[in-house]
Chain A
Amino acid sequence: MRIDKDLVAASATPLVLGILAEGDSSYGYAILKRIRELSDGDLEWTDGMLYPLLHRLERMGQVRSSWQTSDAGRRRKHYSLTDAGRAALADRRGQWAVVSEALDRVWQQRTPIAPTRVVGP
């Protein structure tokens, strides 16, 4: 299933914040791998675009970064959540919960989508 570009963009920040909240810290490539994993590969990003986003979050003080050395001896920039980031994540979660609940309700009022009614290729 292809997911609409705007939806990908809208979900980017909460996803990244959420993934960073899973562990102590993470780095760009691992974050992208985790996104693919979580969405079974349906959420397709242009890989490079993750970095301007991470830098923006850093500028807003929601994440902090530090250079570390990977097992292979390469320099790697790690990002971790700050308190402001945790607060932002909680806020985003609240917003998404509202949206998702509203969507659930409006869709539950009708008959559930039967696979046969899906028009597609």
Chain B
Amino acid sequence: MSDQQIEQWRGYVRRRATLTADDVAELEEHLRGQVDDLVASGLADDEAFLIAVKRMGSVDELSREFAREHSERLWKQLVLTPGETEGARGSGPELWGAIALGAGAALSLRAGLAWLDEGRVALLASVLVLPWLAGYFAWQRRLPAGQVATLAAGFVAVGALLVAYPFDAGGDTLLLAAVHAPVLLWLLVGVAYVGGDWRSGPRRMDLIRFTGEWAVYYFLLAAGGGLLLALTAATFGAIDVDAGPLLFEWVLPMGAAGATLVAAWLVESKQDVIENIAPVLARVFSPLTIALLVALLAAFAVDPDVIDVDRELLILMTVILVLVLALALYALSARPPEAAAGLADWVQVALALAAIVVDLVVLVAMAGRIAELGLTPNRAAALGLNVLLLVNLAVSAWLGLAFVRGRRPVAALERWQTDYLPLYAAWAAVVVVLWGPIFAWG
């Protein structure tokens, strides 16, 4: 019977984002009816199937027509209606699991707030929250017990280290450890995300993609949640009830912790939406960032002294490099691998080159001054990260240029980025582990 062919056809049609599972079921019912009638009139199964598919029309045209009729669907996918796509992605247990783990993350953070002082909570926030996220993926990917134990040991080790280190309250090394620990722990989450298959380049690219999309979702949730909190506080204020302590000591931290899992669940279950937003973000902000960098360069050229004035310029510059790298990764992870080199790829090369030039200007200008100003923990951390990013961007620019000129495939660039990922975590580990002892916990 042609069941297998219909199965294949369904798989092919399913991939269209504008068709819901119900639409496909409806079309499939039609196809089966047509095939049955044609077979009844004396055609062979194969012939009947071919004719029925042809009568159905081109799937491209069909999905375009559905998109025209259901233009809301791209957004509707954000709405949680498990009933609409029955069995398609099975959001039942995943959703409840994510909610339960999110509640776990929220309660951990809240318990931390209750029992630890403020600085320590900031330091340990990622240790309290991210294991739940790693747990979610360990559960989703059915990670073997051995790997789960390794990951758990990793979290415990980082947590124990941060608890044991005698950081000065409010010191720079404490702040740096608090900023770098999430990067290190995100790597552990990533290992769970890729299902333990952390050596695979494509899986690492998936992790990059996930990270970018997760950030967008988290930002949306944070913006919405923040607005809601502000409105609630204002409303209670208007009726003379002070809801501040409840809202900002309970709802805010617990919501922020729980949202990490909700965002992850959203990315997992509704992957199609942001795949459309990420390239748009990269395309909009890449040229704007180039403009920012050129403006900086012009400012340096007009008045070279500005570089000496601001001692924190190095840190700012490093943050800009992080932004540039994020844009490059966004663009790279969202670009269809088979597409030919185009304007967007040139823009990425230009962005990397502009960032390198500006950064080199700053580094050279500050080289003499860094020793003179003294290497504070912040400056040392910024310098190290700056060099790490500069190397990445230099090679990216070179590989990107080779790609747009047709000398190398884009896969070389992808490989470079995915191979480079562990270095960020390694650097974060260095800062978390060594900066305290080196800079006397200050």
* Chain A residues in the interface with B (C-beta under 8 A): 27-30, 32-33, 46-49, 51-52, 55-56, 59, 70, 74-77
A28 touches B29 (CB 8 A): yes
Chain-A contact segment, one of B66-74, B160-168, B295-303: B66-74
The chain A residue with its CB closest to the CB of B59 is A48
Q: What is the CB-to-nearest-CB distance from A83 to chain B, in angstroms, rounded to a whole number?
A: 23
30 contacts between A and B (CB under 8 A): A27-B29, A28-B26, A29-B30, A29-B33, A33-B37, A46-B56, A46-B57, A47-B30, A47-B34, A47-B55, A47-B57, A48-B27, A48-B56, A48-B57, A48-B61, A48-B62, A48-B65, A49-B57, A49-B62, A51-B23, A51-B26, A51-B30, A52-B62, A52-B69, A55-B66, A59-B69, A74-B32, A75-B29, A77-B25, A77-B26
B26 touches A52 (CB 8 A): no
* Chain B residues in the interface with A (C-beta under 8 A): 22-23, 25-27, 29-30, 32-34, 37, 55-57, 61-62, 65-66, 68-70
Q: How far is B27's CA from A74's CA once the two chains are assembled, in angstroms? A: 12
Taking a contact as CB atoms closer than 8 A, the residue among A46, A52, A56 that contacts B55 in the complex is A46
A52 touches B68 (CB 8 A): yes
| Contact A56-B32, Cβ < 8 Å, known A28-B26, A51-B23, A51-B27 | no
Q: What is the CB-to-nearest-CB distance from A44 to chain B, in angstroms, rounded to a whole number?
A: 9
The chain A residue with its CB closest to the CB of B26 is A77
Q: How far is B22's CA from A33's CA once the two chains are assembled, in angstroms? A: 22
**Given A46-B61, A49-B65, A59-B69, 20 new contacts (CB under 8 A):** A29-B33, A46-B57, A47-B34, A47-B56, A47-B57, A48-B30, A48-B56, A48-B62, A49-B57, A49-B62, A51-B23, A52-B62, A52-B65, A52-B66, A52-B68, A55-B70, A56-B69, A74-B32, A75-B25, A77-B26
Q: What is the CB-to-nearest-CB distance from A117 to chain B, in angstroms, rounded to a whole number?
A: 35
Across the A-B interface, how many residue pairs have beta carbons closer than 8 Å? 55
Counting chain A CB atoms within 10 Å of each CB, the highest count among B32, B33, B55 belongs to B33
B29 CB contacts on chain A under 8 angstroms: 27-29, 70, 74-77
B37 CB contacts on chain A under 8 angstroms: 33
Q: What is the CB-to-nearest-CB distance from A77 to chain B, in angstroms, rounded to a whole number?
A: 5
Q: How far is B23's CA from A74's CA once the two chains are assembled, in angstroms? A: 14
A33 CB contacts on chain B under 8 angstroms: 37
Q: What is the CB-to-nearest-CB distance from A66 to chain B, in angstroms, rounded to a whole number?
A: 12
Q: What is the CB-to-nearest-CB distance from A121 to chain B, in angstroms, rounded to a whole number?
A: 25
The chain A residue with its CB closest to the CB of B69 is A52
A32 CB contacts on chain B under 8 angstroms: 30
A56 CB contacts on chain B under 8 angstroms: 69
The chain B residue with its CB closest to the CB of A50 is B30
B57 CB contacts on chain A under 8 angstroms: 46-49
Counting chain B CB atoms within 10 Å of each CB, the highest count among A32, A51, A56 belongs to A51
Nearest 4 A/B pairs, CB to CB: A46-B57, A29-B33, A48-B62, A52-B69
B68 CB contacts on chain A under 8 angstroms: 52
B56 CB contacts on chain A under 8 angstroms: 46-48
Q: How far is B32's CA from A101's CA once the two chains are assembled, in angstroms? A: 40
Q: What is the CB-to-nearest-CB distance from A64 to chain B, in angstroms, rounded to a whole number?
A: 15
